[in-house]
Amino acid sequence: MKNFTRFLQPATAAMQSLLKPKLLKKFTAFCLLLAACTALSAQAPGTWTAHGSGITASPRDFLGIDAVSPDVAWGVAEHPTFSVGAREFCRTLDGGATWQTGVIDPSNGGQFTSLAVYALDAETAWVIMTNIPTQNHGKIYKTTDGGQSWQEQTGSFNGTGNAVAFIHFFDADNGLAIGSPGTGNAAIDSLRIWKTSDGGNAWNRIPPDQLPTPLASEGFWITPGNGHYAAIGDKIWFGTRRGRIWYSPDKDENWQAFPLSTQNITNMSFSMTFSDEQNGIAAGYGIAFRTEDGGQTWTPLTTLPASVVYYRIQHVPGSNGAYYLTYEASQSFYNQYRHAYSLDDGETWTLIADQPRLLPFEFVSPTVGWGGGGGL
């Protein structure tokens, strides 16, 4: 049985000024294999520690997690080679002390693998899947009983030539599923958006003539976790492989696309985060950009540690300018994971040594973060 531990560490004086009323910095790792994690120096904001997951299938990584609160989190697993189907999920209601696990639609065979989970609360969640290796056929499952049962939802994403990269719900009824096939064929890999107004009982594709015209191959590469997009209230932003930020100010009624740069960006994957409705950061393959006008214009952000890829960046909710970043320290992907944090809106970054190989992570407050990995 894999296991988790938890570590509590007092925040530094600098961090305390950003954490508002909280005085402790608590990070919780959400790892499939046992991690031997240690406390960092007194100048660091905290450390990650392993807490198991209850999933015994091996080998597995976490590709998607969603943290509802300091105590409630969901995760879905994948095979590290991304060539074998994996549909295991886990859920904790007590901060990782105990776990519920299961397999979503085990009769589905080995063709499909889980990509991401979006959790509305402790009982309701959606999981998206794709077929492997072609990645041109999507599935969405929903549970309303904490994972005891899952119902497959239907839409044109079920048909060949479609795929879903991420899913987001604004409330219990209204949600979006966004993605593209991952074939590498420019004529096929075009972005698509589906919407629901009844919790996913019916998903309808938004007609292309109601969206910005996609560029060639303007879709998504699959990346860990929910960092594909940022959402605040009814507003949502996401970045595409062609270096554009798509934006809706009203859930899904209207859409605009803004370029990150005048350069011709191709084959890019971006992690998105916004601290408020005006200020955001998009970080991708060795480049990053900042906006101060809600995503309409972007300028290069060169203060991040040098890297071939930034895996995930997130503004820490409830903080005053704190960000957390995972990135690659070598010249090849998924090889040498590194962590860094900023306390001044991304102007300067502090590198953190000896941290686990996290794929997705998500902070729910200045004192609690969840992360998922494997093979530690």
CATH code for the domain in which residue 136 is found: 2.130.10.10
Residue type, 361: F
Residues facing 30 on adjacent strands = 372
Q: Could you say which DSSP state residue 176 is in?
A: E
Q: Tell me if 250 is assigned to some domain.
A: yes
Give backbone dihedrals phi and psi of 16, rounded to 5 degrees, phi first.
-60, -35
Contact 287, 298 (CB under 8 A): no
- The length of the chain in residues reads 376
The residue ranking higher by pLDDT, 204 or 36, is 204
Question: Taking 80 as the threshold, does the pLDDT of residue 99 lie above it?
Answer: yes
What CA–CA distances, in Å, run from 257 to 59, 166, 214, 218?
39, 18, 9, 11
Residue 32 domain-assigned (yes or no): yes
pLDDT exceeds 50 at position 23:
no
Among 129-138, 200-209, 217-226, top mean pLDDT goes to 200-209
223 burial via Cβ count (<10 Å: 0-12, 13-18, 19+): buried
Residue 274 banded pLDDT, cuts 50, 70, 90: very high
The proportion of the chain whose per-residue pLDDT surpasses 90, expressed as a percent, equals 53
Q: What is the mean pLDDT of residues 352-363?
A: 84
CB-count burial class (<10 Å; 0-12, 13-18, 19+) for 177: buried
State both tokens at 120.
């509305």
Whether 1 maps to a domain, the answer reads no
Res. 38 pLDDT band, cuts 50 70 90: very low
Residues 246-254, mean pLDDT to the nearest whole number: 95
Q: Tell me which residue range forms the domain holding 12.
A: 7-373
Residue 129 in any domain: the answer is yes
Establish if 82 belongs to a structural domain. yes
The answer for residues whose C-beta is within 8 angstroms of residue 91's C-beta and 6 or more apart is 72, 73, 74, 75, 99, 100, 101, 122, 125, 146, 147
The amino acid present at 191, given as its one-letter code, is L
The residue with tokens 């350069």 is: 263
pLDDT of residue 227: 83
- C-alpha span between 259 and 26 (Å, rounded): 37
Number of compact structural domains in the chain: 1
Q: What percent of the chain has pLDDT over 70?
A: 84
With a cut of 80, say whether residue 37 has pLDDT above it: no
Model confidence at 196: pLDDT above 70: yes
Please give the model's pTM, rounded to 2 decimal places. Answer: 0.88
Which range, of 61-75, 195-209, 301-315, 350-364, averages the lowest pLDDT?
A: 350-364
In a domain, 239, yes or no: yes
pLDDT(42) > 70? no
Q: Is residue 2 situated within a structural domain?
A: no
Average pLDDT over every residue of 326-332: 90
